[in-house]
Structures are given as structure tokens and as C-alpha cells.
Structure 1
């Protein structure tokens, strides 16, 4: 057992040899993750004021921009094998990391609850149709337990489920689109031209930006802690080119995610146009019957399951394991996340989802801005990984807290809440710029950072110079030995 509470076995850097998710595997995980009922809500809300074509354009813009941002933050996991809560010790401190991390973990747990509720609703509808069994509470409990067990078994089990779920989701999503489109045509509504209450002038611009910010706010939660997922993604050793090193990430974040996200938004819009309800479980029950309905509802169950394991339970469990230290293993973190997702009563959250996305997305966008500023602009991708796991190392700062990070987060989050229609952009910019100025010209003048004072690639870069980081759980502190490219550094 580690003497140091920062050295939890489940939070150690993932070495190159254990990165086992390739480009196709990561893309398939995204196919499963992006099919989420909240995405349907964005589409249904958007066509109230804008034609579907403009909703699609706004979604594509948001998805590509966010996909690039995810890849930027994800390089922390690819390059160094570090998870989100561990790297957050750099911009927030070894103790301070817990506050923004727990906020993210709580949000992820809430999303787990929301997605579980709608997956359970689909499961209940299937059982009611086929066997006359109608008990939403039982379905919710069973579905939650199945997802928690699947995630607790580890990343390989999640990837295998994604391999199974993704083809089913792709096929049935197309079926769902055409089913709902036909329903809309029967009601005399052309899905690409119908708008409930068309917005004009400045109101149309605002509505367009709300669609963009809603999309970014929804997945902005994952943009912040993409390292927790990307640390398992394959990357070539000794590859200094950023694009080549992150090619597997790009396949998922910049190609698969925008395509699937846009299609899900379209389905939500078509669902609303067809039956004035962007919840496809309700819409499908009105527009399909028998085996067709059963198959479509199975897709909803698979989609929520694959989303929850990768996008919600893994990040939340990693965070809660970081807070608890070695005494809280990954599987226990999964259980904590699942418990929170149940007790928040997720069935009451869906009706206010767009407003929540705008506010929470902006607050978490400030963290994304801080991460980008710290990793790329200040440290220039070099990280003193050893000290991230040392309670008395350089990241202890002032009683374990980096005040530059907290001041920047408060300013960025407050700006995002004040301008919620542009929350993600405002939060990201305000948080990142404020942190850069405070850290570079104030905080790091007081608390010297080794990788900034001595920017030696061989000491502080990861797989791009051939370094794998390993942490000795038995020792509180051992010398940090510089190595030559191609060797493994033992810490």
C-alpha cells in the first residue's frame, strides 16, 4: 500500500504497452457515447425557432470545434498517460484539485442518472409491450446495476460492449430517422422547412448561438477530462508530430463524434416536428408498434448504456478514486458515481436540461481554458510527473492549493454565467487568459516549476521522446533520474 495518499494504484500513468484502444475502437466508443437523449433535446429545442438546416450547421460548428478542444486536452493522456484529476494537481494543487474535479464528477454522475432513467424507460416500454411487465423502478435499478458492473470490469469490457453496440446503434438510428420523418410527412410537415415559431434578426442569431453553446456545453464536460479516457488510446512512441501522435483521438473526436452528434440532433428535431416531443421514447411509442417499436427501443437502451460507461462513469469514478486516495479503488469510485446518479432523482432534470447545459458548460469551459493554458502555453507539454504524486513536491504550492487556478476558475465561471448565451466561449477565454497571466507573472514566480525553469525534453516529455512514467507505490520519494529517449523512467 502506498504511503503517499496521492499514489492510488488506479491513478498511476498508463504506460505505452497498456494503451490498447486504436482509431477504430475509439471511433466506435464515440458512436455509442454520442447517442444521448440530451442531444435529441438540443435538436427539438432548436427547431422551435430555426429551420433544421441552421440547427445542423450550428451543431457541426460546435462539434468540430469541441472535438479539436477534446484532442488538445486529450494529449495529456496520450503523451503522459495521466488522468484528468491527476493532471489537475498542476493548475490547482495537490489538494485544490479535488474541488473542480468533484464538480466534474458530480455532473458526470448526474448525467449517468439522466441517461439511466431514459434507458430504463425504454427497457420498461419493451417489457410492458412484450410481457405486460410495467415497473419503472425495477427497470431503473436493474439498468443502473448492469452499467455499474460493466464499467467496474475495466476499459476492455467497455470497448467490447462498444464494438457490439455501435453497429446496432448506427443501423437503428437510420431506421429511427426515416420512421419519424414519415410520421412528420403524414402530419403535413416537411422536416427541413418546418419551424414552430421562426426567429428573425437578432433573435435568430441568439437562437443559433444557443444551439452552438448547448452542443458545446453538453460535451464540454468530457472536453475537460478527456485525459481520463485518452490515456488508454494507442499512440506511436517517439512521434513528435502532434497530429500523428493523436491520430486515434482525431478519428474519434473530430470525425466520428461530429457525425454522430449531428445525426442525433437531427433525430431529436424530427421527433419534435413529428409529435411535438423531442423524447424519442415517447415519439416512437406514438409512431411505431410491435416488433419495430421493440427494436427501436432496444437501440435507446444500448445507446444510453454505451454513453454512460465511457463518458460518465469512467471520469466520475477516476475523480472519486483520486479524492479517496489508495483506499478508494476504481470500482468503488464507480459505485459512488452510480449512487449519486440515482439519488439526484434524474427524472426531474430533463425538463431544464438546456439551461443547465449552458451554465454548467460555461463553468467547465473555464477549466478547459485553464488546462490548455497550463499544459501548452506555460509548461509547453513538459510535465514533472514525479511531483504530481508527491505530497511535498512542487505542486504542493500554498497548503496544496494553486491560487492562480482558483482565481481564474472563479472569474471564468462568473463570466460564463453572466453571458450564458455565449457561456462556453466566454468561460474558456476568461479562464484561460486569466490563468496564463496570473500563473506566469505571479504564482510561478513564487513557486518555481522544474519543467519551466529547466525545459529539458528528455526529463519532462512523455512518449514523444520515448519516456514511460512509472510510480513506485512503496516509496515516498526517490530520485528523479534523467533518461535517454527510448528508455523507461522509473520514479
Structure 2
């Protein structure tokens, strides 16, 4: 490890070496603000709107609470605790699971899909929100795919890039301003919806596009919520790395990623049931009126920028593992390159937006097994102990060298989990097996992955003295 450390808080200090306790910038309340700002982006409202396609208000409350809680807790236990304990970025710690070259392969396959799609969804929501504010307040008639809306999307990505130039501290500062206001706006929207449509009225409203079989509709909605919970896997570890203790990493995520996103999701569900649209940018003005609804849309729009920032910052730390040349790129260039795929996707807003709940299912297909293999490796096999020096040593000198820097057992376990998911649910067509309504797809995929990884490691990897188990 280098004896010279860059100044705390700079972009350079937050890549590569583990962070010392004094270099970590987020305590309990600041990280709660970051988590809350990430959670109450319009993806929470859009997830809630997707739930309204399948179930009514009563069932929505149950699936939203259970799905988000299970997904978020599993993700936080898996990614945040090791990163906060050791100060390492998530994909650096994953070397202990997949090996150095295995992590590179994972990044090449994973990051373009997840980062680009999430950023594009958020930017498109930003553009549609500003368009609806203009239509409500200024009397314009902007279409959802008009060139001006696409321009708003590009503006969101450009603003995110400019803010990222100031490093992770700017993310905390922006969230410190946005998160409280956004939480208040969300609660106000909930009160207005309940005032206009009381609990009895909401409970009587039918779902927007149910399959017709109640147990299947219920489990489909639960699967979407599990996907929303698991979707945090790719970014939470790198953000938790900046927290002062593992406890500070855990509880603010429960408050933000579970609590705040659950409330925002239910607001999205209730509004979608009441106004017939799963798009949150279309119902805020009818709920709150031109002034209050416009203000709410503006807050939600700008919260999307903080979410794009959080994802892109975390993604930047991850892709630096690909090659030394990536680590040498200026921070401004790296951030711009990571935002480029989303910049292309926002020119096709309709296709990205309409496939949102299918995207959540695809996230579960990929991320639930990834979460499970990391969980099993860190908590069950390594007993929550990592050896920092070996995470950074060359493969020949590291206990995490495996076979040429790849752990085939981890990839086989993930493949077994993904196959389990596909046997239960097709994430594109949503065709399901007879077992899906009683099992979900994400939870069996998680369980199968964990069991296969433990068995393969104990039967093959450990006896061959690979992986430092």
C-alpha cells in the first residue's frame, strides 16, 4: 500500500486504498440524508405505480413493506457491513468472492446495464417532471417525448456531472438540502390523497392491469418490490464506505432505503389507483394543484439528480477496478464516460419508461444471486473477516488469487441462482411456473445461490487450498 495518501474528501482519496476512520465523511444524520435522498427519487413513486398494475391498496401495503424490507436488509447486510468495517469499496471487497479478474468480468457485464438504465430512467423522469410543471403553470403543451423534454433529460445529466466534479462531499450537501424537503413533500402528497380519497375509497379501487388470479397478482407485485430492494446492491457498499462505523452504515439505510422508499412507493401506488396512471409525473399536479403539485414535481425532479450522482459516483469507484488506465483517467472524464450511455438512452424515453417493471425483474434475476453469493461468502464462510492486504496484492501473493484471478465456484453459484429464477419467472414476458405464486422467484434464487456456493466452496475450493478459506 502506498505510504502517501491524498487529502481527505478528494476524489482521489476515495478510490483505491481503504479509507481510514478519519477520512470518512458521513455520520449517522448525514448518511441518513444521503439514503433518504436516494430513496425518494421518482423511481420509488414509479415502483409504487407498477404495484398498482397488479394489486389494490391493502395488498400493496403488505407487499411494499415486506418486499422492500427483505430486499434492503439482505443488501445492506451483504454490501454495507464489510465496506463500512474495512473502508473498502464494494467491488474491491468482492475480489474475495470472485477473484480480481472475476470482478473485472462482472463489471464489464453488469455496470453498463444497471448504471446506464437507472440513470436514463431518472433523467427521463426529471425531463417529464419539468415538462408537467411547465404545462401546469405556464400553460404549455409539451409531449412526453418532445425535443424539449429530451433537452431537460440532458440537462439533468449535465448538472449531475458538474456536481460530481466536487467529489462525494457535494452529494452529502445536496442531499442535506433536498432530502428533508422531499420527505415533507411526500407526506403532504399522502395527506392530500387520503383527504380526497379516504381509506375506504382507496381500498375499493381496482388494480390497473391485473392478471386475474389474485395469488399470482400478489406475488408479482411482491416480486417487483423485492427487485426494488435488491436493486440497491450495486451502489450501497461504495457509499457505506464513507460512513464512520458499520452501525452508521446499517440504520440510515433502513430509515432511507426501506422506510422512505416504502412511504414514497405507497404514495405512488395510491395515486396510481386514484388517477389511473403509474407515471408519478402525471398525478402530482392533479393531487396538489398547479402550485403545490408543481413545487412537488420540482423537488422530485431535483432529487433525481442526487440519485444519479450517487449511482455514478459508486459506479466510478467500481470501474476503476477494470484496468490501471481507467484509474489514471481524470475524474471529470471518468464521470462523463459513465453518464454517456444514459445520454444516448434518453433520446428514446418511451421505451425506457414503459419497460420499468420488467427492468426490476431483470435486476432481481441478476442481483439476487450476486447478493446471495456475497452474503454466503462473507457471513457464512469467512465469518465476517477480510484480509485487507490480500485484496490489493497481486494474485500470486494473495489468498484471493483463486485460479488465474477467477473463482469458478462463485460464478457457478450465481448461474445456478439465475437459472432458478428463470425456471420460476420469465422477467421479460412475466410468464411464470405454477410454483411462482407461492415462492416468488428472487427468494428461491437467493437461497439456491447461497447453498450452492457454500457446498462448492467446502467440497472443491477449500480442499484445493484456494481462496484463503
TM-score by length of 1: 0.81
Q: Distance in 2 between matches of 1:447 and 1:127?
A: 64
Aligned residue in 2 for 1:255:
255
Shift in alpha-carbon separation, 1:103–1:330, aligned structure 2, 3 A: farther
Whether the 8 Å CA contact 1:169–1:302 is kept in 2: the answer is no
Aligned residue in 2 for 1:282:
282
Shift in alpha-carbon separation, 1:108–1:442, aligned structure 2, 3 A: same
In the TM superposition, residue 111 of structure 1 has moved relative to its aligned partner by 0.2
Whether 1:438 aligns to 2:438 is no
Q: Distance in 1 between matches of 2:412 and 2:185?
A: 47
Aligned residue in 1 for 2:383:
380
Larger CA deviation: 33-42 vs 14-23:
33-42
Q: Distance in 1 between matches of 2:290 and 2:133?
A: 10
Whether 1:228 aligns to 2:238 is yes
In the TM superposition, residue 189 of structure 1 has moved relative to its aligned partner by 8.5
Deviation by residue 1:257-277 (Cα, 9 ceiling, x = unmatched): 322122112221222122210
Choose which of 82, 91, 100 in structure 1 pairs with 2:88: 82
Shift in alpha-carbon separation, 1:47–1:121, aligned structure 2, 3 A: closer
Deviation by residue 1:167-190 (Cα, 9 ceiling, x = unmatched): 1101211222344445657xx981
Whether 1:167 aligns to 2:174 is no
SS of 2:411's partner is: helix
Whether 1:349 aligns to 2:355 is no
Choose which of 162, 166, 171 in structure 2 pairs with 1:153: 166
Q: Distance in 2 between matches of 1:329 and 1:222?
A: 27
Shift in alpha-carbon separation, 1:159–1:350, aligned structure 2, 3 A: same
SS of 1:395's partner is: coil
In the TM superposition, residue 20 of structure 1 has moved relative to its aligned partner by 2.0
In the TM superposition, residue 86 of structure 1 has moved relative to its aligned partner by 0.8
1:307-456 equivalence runs, <5 A: 307-310=307-310, 312-325=311-324, 326-328=327-329, 330-345=331-346, 347=349, 348-392=351-395, 393-420=398-425, 422-450=440-468, 452=469
In the TM superposition, residue 315 of structure 1 has moved relative to its aligned partner by 2.4
Whether the 8 Å CA contact 2:160–2:309 is kept in 1: the answer is yes
Q: Distance in 1 between matches of 2:197 and 2:290?
A: 20
1:104-183 equivalence runs, <5 A: 104-106=110-112, 107-127=114-134, 129-130=137-138, 135-181=148-194
Shift in alpha-carbon separation, 1:277–1:133, aligned structure 2, 3 A: closer
Deviation by residue 1:131-189 (Cα, 9 ceiling, x = unmatched): 9696223211111111122234222110111110011101211222344445657xx98
Whether the 8 Å CA contact 2:63–2:222 is kept in 1: the answer is yes
Deviation by residue 1:306-362 (Cα, 9 ceiling, x = unmatched): 22222x212222222221332235544322221111223462222121122113212
Q: Distance in 2 between matches of 1:152 and 1:429?
A: 41
Shift in alpha-carbon separation, 1:189–1:65, aligned structure 2, 3 A: closer
Q: Distance in 2 between matches of 1:23 and 1:46?
A: 31
Aligned residue in 1 for 2:98:
92
Structure 2: runs of 5+ lacking an equivalent: 3-11, 143-147, 426-435
Structure 1: runs of 5+ lacking an equivalent: 3-7, 236-245, 453-491
Aligned residue in 2 for 1:488:
none
SS of 1:191's partner is: helix
Whether the 8 Å CA contact 1:52–1:191 is kept in 2: the answer is yes
Aligned residues: 432
Q: Distance in 2 between matches of 1:412 and 1:383?
A: 25
SS of 1:394's partner is: coil
Aligned-residue Cα RMSD (Å) equals 2.7
Q: Distance in 2 between matches of 1:152 and 1:430?
A: 42
Q: Distance in 2 between matches of 1:426 and 1:344?
A: 32
